[in-house]
Amino acid sequence: MQRILLVDDDDLSRGAVHKMLERSGYAVESTGAGQDAINRYRRDSVDLVITDLIMPDVDGLEIIQELRRVNPEVRILAISGGGRVDAEEYLSVARKFGAVEVLSKPFTGQDLKRAVEIALGNTAA
């Protein structure tokens, strides 16, 4: 079973995405704090990290940079609903920092499943 680490400071969003991923057959760990996510990944790497970009303690771009320092091959799916600028601008920067796939909020379960399959490199997507 492929393992995913989900990082999103929004409890409702994180809970919903966590459940969608579990229903799709993934083993999921989740956290609302960026530094916690980095520490967890250092202890026990996973197949995919899904991170929101706009978070208070350590934002998603910092997470991407740090995880790529830990493991340059880490597979990351960046998600964002935007903030001061449009979500697509944040997601574009996330790709430049090393996210292998991006997804704009709000998204459907089907959108999420497709993005996860692409990010994991599964050709069935």
Residue ranges and CATH numbers for the domains of the chain are 3-120 (3.40.50.2300)
Whether 76 contacts 67, CB under 8 Å: yes
φ and ψ of 52, to 5 deg:
-70, 155
Query: Which two three-digit tokens encode residue 112?
Result: 């999420």
3-state secondary structure of 56: coil
Whether 67 contacts 44, CB under 8 Å: no
Q: What is the pLDDT of residues 65-121, one digit of tens each?
A: 999 999 999 999 999 987 666 778 889 999 999 999 999 999 999 999 999 999 999
pTM attached to this predicted model: 0.94
3-state secondary structure of 18: helix
